[in-house]
């Protein structure tokens, strides 16, 4: 009897661990278990013609449930996970995967190499429209988060995320990640040897902006108060594409420093689960 109880306890422990990872193994078959938000995103991908793989199911579930656990998911207006491998599936906003401009789905222009690893611009005119205007769709100039997970190490200073003619933009190159927001003409930098990984800008009060690269944070004083009033464009501005592959992009309200560190671990593992 004691042996049976030990075996039963082990089976329950394994099942719990599998469910937290987003799947169960039953009779040698992998059965996915999805958070509702993750399931809606994956259903949109399936409706666009691609049935997500077991790994993509697990990665999506891990991303959403982990973000909900640390409180970052509710702060996001748009998040692009680039699952599915083509333009039709890469366009969906994880947090609101409806196929309309109001859902901030992407419209790609120019040429891209869409694959399981992400969306890679391949021409100077390669961009993606978001239909998202910061002044209309983000909380405020003092409550802001922009981030880009790059799968390409290319040394140029063309923008990964931008809006209008002001300084609402970020980019990463071989000498440093740079970011600015609002009307500030100063671009804050974190020195880095390449543009691979997760980087962006974050603001949760009226006087400071934090720029980050993976788990390295740099907070700088910034008293600018003008908010961008133009559509956010990804991968460039129509004539100078960044040519960096997007693997995860987030637009929304500001994270705490603790959330930034936690989110970095989440997005890194999300991509590694998909071998990218």
**Per-residue pLDDT at 100:** 96
d(CA 29, CA 91): 31
What local confidence, expressed as pLDDT, does residue 17 receive? 41
88-97, 122-131, 132-141: range with lowest mean pLDDT: 132-141
- Residue 174 has what pLDDT? 46
Across 146-150, 178-182, 251-255, least confident range: 178-182
The Cα 24–Cα 101 span in angstroms is 36
| Higher pLDDT, residue 126 or 168 | 126
CA distance 207 to 209: 7
> Over the chain, what is the mean pLDDT?
84
Instruction: Tell me the pLDDT band of 56, cut-offs 50, 70 and 90.
Output: very high
pLDDT surpasses 70 at 185: no
Q: Which of 16-20, 99-103, 124-128, 177-181 has the lowest mean pLDDT?
A: 16-20
**Six token digits for residue 41:** 């995103």
pLDDT of residue 68: 98
Range 206-235 average pLDDT: 84
For each of the domains in the chain, give its residue range(s) and CATH number, in order of start.
71-273 (2.60.120.200)
- Name the residue among 124, 173, 125 with its Cα closest to residue 153: 173
Instruction: Note the pLDDT tens digit of each residue in 128-162.
Output: 999 999 999 999 888 999 999 999 988 787 889 98
* Confidence bin at 224 (pLDDT 50/70/90): low
For residue 199, give Cα distances in angstroms to 22, 26, 145, 190, 218.
27, 39, 11, 10, 11
Query: Using 50, 70 and 90 to split pLDDT, how confident is the model at 220?
Result: confident
183 vs 106, more confident: 106
User: What's the pLDDT at 183?
Assistant: 42
**Mean pLDDT (whole number) for 187-200:** 77
Say whether pLDDT at 89 is over 60: yes
What's the rounded Cα separation, in Å, for the pair 240 and 21? 40
- Please say whether the beta carbons of 14 and 39 come within 8 A: no
pLDDT at 27: 44
Q: How many CA atoms lie within 13 A of 87 on its CB side?
A: 13
CA distance 67 to 36: 14
Q: Secondary structure of the chain in the HEC alphabet?
A: CHHHHHHHHHHHHHHHHHHHHCEEEECCEEEECCCHHHHHHHHHHHHCCCCCCHHHHHHHHHHHHHHHHHCCHHHEEEEECCCCCCHHHHCCCCCCCCCCHHHCCCEEECCEEEECCEEEECCCCCEEECCCCHHHHCCECCEEEEEEEECCCCCCCCCCEEECCCCEEEEECCCEEEEECCCCCCCEEEECCCCCEEEEEEECCCCEEEEEECCEEEEEECCCCCCCCCCEEECCCCCCCCCCCEEEEEEECCCCHHHHHHHHHHHHHHHHHCCC
Of the candidates 206, 203, 209, the one whose C-alpha atom is nearest the C-alpha of residue 186 is 209
């Amino acid at each position: 009897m004691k042996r049976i109880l030990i075996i039963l306890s082990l089976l329950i422990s394994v099942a719990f661990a599998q469910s937290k990872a987003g799947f169960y193994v039953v009779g040698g078959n992998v059965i996915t278990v999805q958070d509702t938000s993750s399931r809606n995103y994956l259903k949109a991908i399936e409706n666009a013609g691609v049935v997500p793989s077991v790994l993509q199911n697990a990665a999506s579930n891990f991303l959403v449930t982990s973000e909900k656990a640390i409180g970052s998911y509710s702060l996001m207006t748009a998040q692009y996970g680039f699952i599915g491998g083509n333009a039709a599936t890469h366009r969906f906003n994880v947090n609101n995967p409806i196929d309309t401009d109001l859902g901030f789905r992407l419209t790609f222009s120019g040429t891209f190499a869409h694959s399981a690893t992400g969306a890679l611009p391949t021409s100077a005119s390669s961009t993606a429209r978001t239909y998202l205007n910061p002044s209309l769709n983000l909380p405020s100039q003092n409550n802001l988060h922009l981030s880009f997970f790059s799968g390409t190490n290319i040394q140029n200073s063309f923008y990964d995320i931008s809006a209008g003619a002001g300084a609402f933009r970020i980019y990463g190159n071989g000498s440093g990640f740079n970011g600015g927001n609002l009307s500030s003409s100063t671009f804050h930098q974190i020195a880095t040897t390449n543009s691979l990984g997760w980087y962006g800008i974050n603001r949760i009060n009226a006087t400071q902006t934090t720029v980050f690269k993976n788990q390295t944070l740099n907070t700088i004083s910034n008293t600018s108060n003008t908010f961008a009033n133009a559509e956010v464009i990804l991968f460039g501005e129509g004539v100078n594409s960044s040519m960096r592959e997007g693997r995860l992009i987030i637009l929304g309200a500001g994270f705490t420093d603790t959330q930034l560190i936690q989110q970095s671990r989440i997005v890194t593992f999300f991509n590694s689960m998909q071998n990218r």
